[in-house]
Amino acid sequence: MKIAFELSGEHATLPRAEVIACLESLNIDFREIAFMDQLLVVDVQELPPIAKRLAMTHHILDVIFICPANIKSILRLASTADLGLKGTFCIRAKCKGTDLSSTALEREVGALIHKKGYRVDLDNPDVMFRLVLTEDKCVFGRLMESVDRGRYEVRRPQQRPFFYPGVLLPRFARALVNISSLHDGILLDPFCGTGGILIEAASIGAQCIGMDIQQKMVLGANLNLRYYDIDGMLIVGDACDIPLRSKSVDAVVTDPPYGRSALIQARSLEYLYRDSLREIYRVLKKNKKAVIVSQMPLDKLAEEAGLAVRGKHQQRVHRSLTRQIIVLQK
Ligand SMILES: C[S@@+](CC[C@H](N)C(=O)[O-])C[C@H]1O[C@@H](n2cnc3c(N)ncnc32)[C@H](O)[C@@H]1O
């Protein structure tokens, strides 16, 4: 079956990487068919419910047809395609990047399906169809699942008992956890700060270990984990000397300090990255991944530590801060 993921526009590359890593971590056999402007289409045998895991997807569709983004092709396919419809229906269209009107399209395609003998129910339909148009393609599908993105708002850092500036937002932290391909097992954040990454890892069922060199951060992260009933292990310590056995963790996701002002017990940011990357390599199990957010490119230091670069993303936070997100594999 063909499945389309309607991706969020909050980042150009992370939403796609998140879906792909999630499918891989769940051992789902899939083939990517198309990636076009906030829409990823894959071919899979079967899809387990994954909306609960994803952060940067809006909807997941069972694709009925894909056609050129013009009204003639859409109406022709909507009238001939097997819609597999039982009960009432409703259509929602999203026409980003085209000059077609969503409302007009919903009305025209809706009227056509209605003529085939199906009843419209705008409030509580048995089947919700979605028409998603990119600049040149249209994907028409049955809505399978929607991601409840509101639940990440509920976990806003300001709502937690311990807040500190510089914390990652929950949706971003969840996407990073997913990009690490962690299924279950142990996730380590050696620069855990207030524990934002640990909270998201625990929410997908991982056991989490956090470390921070500042006792006040570890105490605060502890308050935050307890607030969500999370039973993680927290250590006051230096990420350049991690007190864990070699090959003992299944993923590392972390957000080390960015500027020189954030430096604690390290000669320079370069030393901090170099020594902590060596430790990350040591504690990771073979083939497992580390996802690291930094202000400078880490490719060279990561490769020197023995880690292979599997992906890179950039996120502009403001004029003087662009985050680099690097995906590494042991
Ligand atoms: C950018 S913050 C992490 C924020 C975190 N992601 C959150 O959501 O709150 C970086 C953290 O690294 C910690 N840190 C700095 N040097 C460290 C070191 N050598 N070992 C461990 N932690 C360190 C700082 O105390 C700070 O809390």
pLDDT in tens, 52-64: 999 999 999 999 9
Which residue has the least CA distance to atom 12 on ligand 1? 191
**Ligand 1 pocket mutation pick from 264, 267, 296 by most atoms within 8 angstroms of CB:** 264
CA 3 to ligand 1 center in whole angstroms: 39
Over the range 108-118, which residues count as b (16 or more CB within 10 Å of their CB) and which as e?
A: bbbeebeeeeb
Residue where the block lists tokens 């796609």: 16
Which pLDDT score is estimated for 86? 86
Q: At what angle do helices 71-80 and 102-115 cross, to 10 degrees?
A: 30
Q: Is domain 151-329 given the CATH code 3.40.50.150 in the classification?
A: yes
Is it true that 2-146 and 151-329 share their CATH fold? no
Ligand 1 proximity of 188 Cβ (cutoff 6 Å): no
Q: 199: Cβ below 6 Å to ligand 1?
A: no
Q: Which atom of ligand 1 approaches the CA of 212 most closely?
A: 22
The CATH code that applies to domain 2-146 is 3.30.2130.30
Grouping H, G, I as helix, E, B as strand and the rest as coil, residue 165 is coil
Give the residue extent of every domain in the chain. 2-146, 151-329
Q: Which stretches of the chain drop beneath a pLDDT of 70?
A: 259-267
Dihedral sign from CA coordinates of 78, 84, 89, 93 = negative
* Euclidean distance between CA atoms 324 and 293, whole angstroms: 6
Q: What is the pLDDT of residue 262?
A: 57
CB-CB contact of 329 with 287 (8 Å): yes
pLDDT value of position 319: 81
- Ligand 1 pocket check for 265: Cβ under 6 Å: yes
Residue 98 alpha carbon to ligand 1 centre in Å: 44
The atom of ligand 1 lying closest to the CA of 264 is 16
Mean pLDDT of the chain: 93
pLDDT of the residue at 131: 95
What pLDDT is recorded for position 204? 93
Binding site membership of 279 for ligand 1 (Cβ less than 6 Å): no
